[in-house]
Each structure stands twice: as structure tokens, then as C-alpha cells.
Amino acid sequence: MYAEELECTKCGRTYLLGNYCKCSSCGGILQVVYRWPKGRPFTEDEGMQGIWRYMDRLPVKEKANMVSLGEGSTPLISSVRLSRETGVESLFFKMESANPSGSFKDRGIAVSVSKARELGADTLIVASTGNASASTAAYAARAGMRCVVCVPETTSVAKVSQAMAHGATVVLAEGDFSNAYALALEASEHFGWVNTSTTYLNPYNLEGNKTVAYELLSQLRGSVPDAVVVPVGAGPLLAGIARGFEELKGQGRIHRLPRLVGVQARACSPIFRAFEEKSEAVESWKTSFTTLAKGVGDPLTGYEDDGVMTLRSILASGGSVEALEEEEIRSAAVSLAEKEGIYAEPTASIAAGALSGLKKKGRICTDETVVCLVTGHGLKDFIQGGSRPRTVSSLEDLERAVEGSRRG
């Protein structure tokens, strides 16, 4: 392991690799700092699976502390129909919904929980809109650790049930995600629990997310995609992918970075608003909202710097931010299922849903290679498309039902 310390991205203060959520001097975001031997090549451990193939790029020292359910090595599949409809000839979907708990969260949570075990922790707490709670609960169960989950009161029943199935203590926080975030942060500071919330609170989480970049380079046979489109709330998945590609470039494995595109729900889109206004500051979303894409419905209240961090990653890559209306989100989920065979929750569909708008604005081009991240499985939260099933009692009834569905 070549991880040496944590460093504040705002004031530069450094810390030992420990249980920290933010800089105690300025409240800034902490990131892991590595010291790789000069000239050391980028290597993979062929004896390991998933994200742990890149263990010397992760902040877990001993293999004995690994907590794994087989996360990572998710499929990259080419588009069958949406590529033609959107005019993007080389379009791929990175199936993060194929991770063990059904979402991309498993990458970062696996690293966070493994580091928590290495630090001797026995209790985890997480604020989540659903997926991070299910993931943390699963990995806590695997590690034999206690798990406390704080979710907004409007969270999908399927996601809450998943966390409870793994033995987590689940509490519903009144209001939106920012309230759950504040409660989990207060509890972690008061009780000394490890906070695995997948904003930027846990510095080890980002390290798991960066393995998406490593895998994409391998799956595209050493070719860098022109654009990677990512659903974003606070945005550590996108920032992690940026970090991964930057590390690859620093090692001389690649010579350019992909453009990173963040996608939000227009109903709650603080990063999109800042991008459109050409502002370096991201302000919290103060208007009440509801959205089908609950996983990105993050107003960033009290942690606006998370949005700034994500926006910087986007701008540094030459990328952009898009926002979808509710009907566009609904249509994206139905289209992925009906036209690509991809069963995804609404939040996971918005990257694909943004393609037409990006193409019209000239932010992606016909001959470019574009990767959309499908971040969560439809079994967690899905918008039903198509017509309602009909009861039939004869072959004639069956034929009428089939013809009716074709016309619909």
C-alpha cells in the first residue's frame, strides 16, 4: 500500500490515515495522498478480483482487512438501439447496477468498510437516499460490524428493506437528504462511529470509485472514451472517475482525459445551476422539491463545497452539466428497459436520458466514444412502462392482447 496520509484540499493540512470526516482546521474535504516509487509501473494483481486487482492503488494496507462481496469488474455493454436514436455511434453502458448490492456504491463502501476494519472500528453510520444504506448494511454484515442508517422519510421501501434485511438499524430522518446527512455527521462525531456517507465525508470512498476509470481503460482495450456521463448528487462518483483517469495519465498509461458530464434532476440541480451561471461557487438548493431521480436529489445544504469539488472535476476535464425534467427522467428509464434491455432505477437512467440534449448542444459528437454509467438496478425503484396485463381465457383473447400491446 502506498497511501501515506490524508490532506485537506482547502488548507493543505495533513493527517494520519484515520477516522476523519473533514479537516478540523477549516472544514475542508480530505483526500488520500499516495507516494508511489518513482518509475513504478501501473500494475494489477492477477490473483485478486474486482476493485482489489488495484490494491496498491487503494488505502487498505493488509489483505486480511479486505471486506469484499465481489464488487467491481462490472460489464461494459454496447448500445443496440439508443445509439441510433441519439446519433452517437459508439455508445456504451457501464453496468454498475451489476455490483453485489445493486448499485455503484459498493465500490466506495467496500474500501471504506475495509479501512474501518483496519482502524479497529465496530460501528458504521451512513446517511443515504437508499443505495448507500443498502450497500453499507451489506458490507457491515459481511464484516460483522454494527450499522446505523439514516435515510430521508421518502426513501424507497425496497431500499430500506434491503438495509434492514442485512440487520441494520434504520431511522427515517424528517425532511430531505441534507437532514439525514447532518444527523449522521453529528452522530459520527459524538460517538466516534465511522461515517460511510457517500458524499465527500469519507475520504476512502472516493478511492473505490476511481476503479471505474481503470476498468474502462481495460474494457476499451487501452482506448480513452471521449466522454463519460454520470448521474450526480454531491458527485463523488464523478470525482472518483476523474481521479482514476488523472492517475492513469500521471503514470503515462494515457495521454488525454475524457470529458466528464454530470447529470442532475432539474427539480434539484445546484451543480447544473452553477455551471449554467458560470459560477465557481455552488449554492445549496433552497426550493422544496420532489423528483423521480431520488438518488441525485441532493440540495447540498451545509456541504456546498461538495458541489464545488465536483464542478471543478467537470470543468478540469472540459466537460459539462445537464439537467433533466421529470418527464425526461421517466422516459429515460422506460427507454433503457424497452430498447436496451437494461432494468435501471430512474436515477441510474438519467445519464442515458441526457444524450439527446448533449448531442444537440454539440457537447458530444456522432463519431465519439461515449460511456453512460448505469448506477443502480431497477429492482430498487422503477417506473413501470407499457400497458397493464390483461386476463385471457382463449387463444383469441391472447391474440387480441398481443395486437393491442403492439398498437400501444
Residue that is written with C-alpha cell 479486505 in the block: 66
Q: Is 94 left (phi over 0), alpha (psi -120 to 50) or beta?
A: beta
Q: Which helix (H) or strand (E) holds 84?
A: helix 82-86
Short-list 182, 186, 155, CA closest to 168: 155
Spatial separation of the C-alpha atoms in residues 246 and 15, rounded to whole Å: 23
Helix (H) or strand (E) holding 140: helix 131-143
Residue 239 buriedness (CB in 10 A; 0-12 / 13-18 / 19+) = buried
- The pTM of this model reads 0.94
Instruction: Say what the pLDDT of residue 153 is.
Output: 87
Handedness of CA 236, 240, 242, 243 (dihedral sign): positive
pLDDT tens-digit series, residues 283-295: 999 999 999 999 9
What pLDDT was estimated at residue 356? 96
The identity of residue 77, as a single letter, is: I
pLDDT at 408 over 60: no
Burial of 220: CB neighbours in 10 Å, binned 0-12, 13-18, 19+: middle
Query: How far apart are alpha carbons 381 and 129 in whole angstroms?
Result: 12
Helix (H, G, I), strand (E, B) or coil at 235: coil
Indicate the burial class of 10 (C-beta count within 10 angstroms; 0-12, 13-18, 19 or more): middle
d(CA 83, CA 75): 18
pLDDT band at 31 (very low <50, low <70, confident <90, very high): very high
340 CB contacts (<8 Å, ≥6 apart)?
79, 80, 81, 82, 93
Cell digits of residue 248 = 492513469
Q: Is the confidence at residue 350, as pLDDT, over 60? A: yes
Top-confidence residue, 177 or 261: 261
Q: How far apart are CA 336 and CA 74, in angstroms?
A: 18
What pLDDT does residue 131 have? 92
Mean pLDDT of 124-135: 92
Q: Give yes or no for a contact between 144 and 117, defined as CB atoms under 8 angstroms apart.
A: no
The DSSP bridge pattern shows strands 14-15 and 369-374 to be unpaired
- How does pLDDT run across 233-274, given as a tens digit for each residue? 999 999 999 999 999 999 999 999 999 999 999 999 999 999
State the pLDDT at residue 386. Answer: 64
